[in-house]
Structures are given as C-alpha cells and as structure tokens.
Amino acid sequence: MFKNKKEYDKKGNLVYCRSFWGYEEKYEYDENNNKIYYKYFDGDEDQWKYDENNNKIYYKKYNGDEGWWKYDENNNCIYYIGSNGYEEHKKYDENNNLIYHKNSSNYENWYKYDEEGCRFKITEQEFNKIESGKKVKKNRENNESANRFEIMDI
C-alpha cells in the first residue's frame, strides 16, 4: 500500500507528489520560482513560460490547448488569446486599475472606482462621459439601485 509522499526543492517548491493511491505528479520551476512544468500521474504534461518580469506569457496544456498573454509597461495584462480562439482585451487607468474588459464572447464591462478604491461596473456611455470631464457618483437613493450611477459635473 502506498503512503502520501511530497518532495520539495531547496526553495520550498513542490517537485514531487505521490498520493495514497500511488498516483505520481512532478513539477519544475524556473530560477524565479515560477512553475514551468507539470507532469500528471497519467503522463499528461503542462508547460508555462514567463517574461523577465515574471509575467506568464505562454501556457500549453496536456490536451494541446495553448494561451498567450501580453502586458503593458506596468505589467498589467492587456491581452490574452487562446488556441481555441478565445480572446480578452483589458485597459487600465493611470493607477493601474482595470477600467475596461472585453472577451471574444462579447462580454464587455467598463469600470470606475470610488474614493476608497472600490470598483463599480458602469455603462460605456457613462464611461465616455467620465472621460470627457465628468465624474461618477454612486446613486444611494435606494438599495435596489446600489450598482447604478448618476453622472455629476466636476
């Protein structure tokens, strides 16, 4: 009968795992402790690549699916595309807050942040008014409209 077993490298990264049922898994890491390889108990393998800022830029799953990421100068993920055609586009403000997200399923969101840094979803029209010199104030008139906004002049 097998016992659970785990082995770690000198940096504390899990490099080997054997379950109670005898399933073995292996892991490898780069010099920055980013996981770059994973071998499943059934022989399937996953691989990752990172840029000089430790941002994930490539992933290949055991089933052949792949993904690629791009980042802006502040290391914010601005683009992802998968081998299955799925895409994501993101934009950030000067404080590195996510302000726009759209994926290939046409799921699109615009965001604004209050004084405490809490993010709120807004419409594209509201966002465009904000960008043209207006600001958002959360509408607190009733609890049902807690996520609605009104546009106020600055």
Residue finishing a domain among 69, 96, 128: 69
My answer on whether 31 and 93 are in the same domain is no
Domain coverage including residue 132: 86-154
- Please, are residues 63 and 79 in contact by the beta-carbon 8 Å criterion? no
**Same domain membership, residue 58 and residue 16:** yes
Q: Are residues 19 and 54 in the same domain?
A: yes
Same domain, 107 and 144: yes
Residue for token pair 């207006």: 134
Would you state the pLDDT for residue 140? 38
Q: Do 53 and 8 lie in a common domain?
A: yes
- Would residue 77 count as lying in a domain? no
∠ CA 126-151-149, nearest 5°, is 75
Tens of each residue's pLDDT in the chain, 154 residues: 668 899 999 999 999 999 888 899 999 999 999 999 999 988 899 999 999 999 999 999 999 999 999 999 999 999 999 999 999 999 999 999 999 999 999 889 988 888 888 888 777 666 666 666 555 444 433 334 444 444 333 3
Task: Flag whether 75 is in a domain.
Answer: no
User: Given the structure tokens 């009104």, which residue do they identify?
Assistant: 150
At residue 1, the pLDDT reads 60
- Give SS3 for 35: strand
User: φ and ψ at 79, to 5 degrees?
Assistant: -155, 140
- pTM score over 0.75: no
Q: Is residue 111 part of a domain?
A: yes
pLDDT at 68: 97
Residue 3: what pLDDT?
82
107 and 58 fall within a common domain: no
Q: How crowded is the C-beta side of 100, counted as CA atoms within 13 Å?
A: 16
Does residue 94 sit within a domain? yes
Asked whether residue 18 is domain-assigned, the answer is yes
7 with 47, same domain? yes
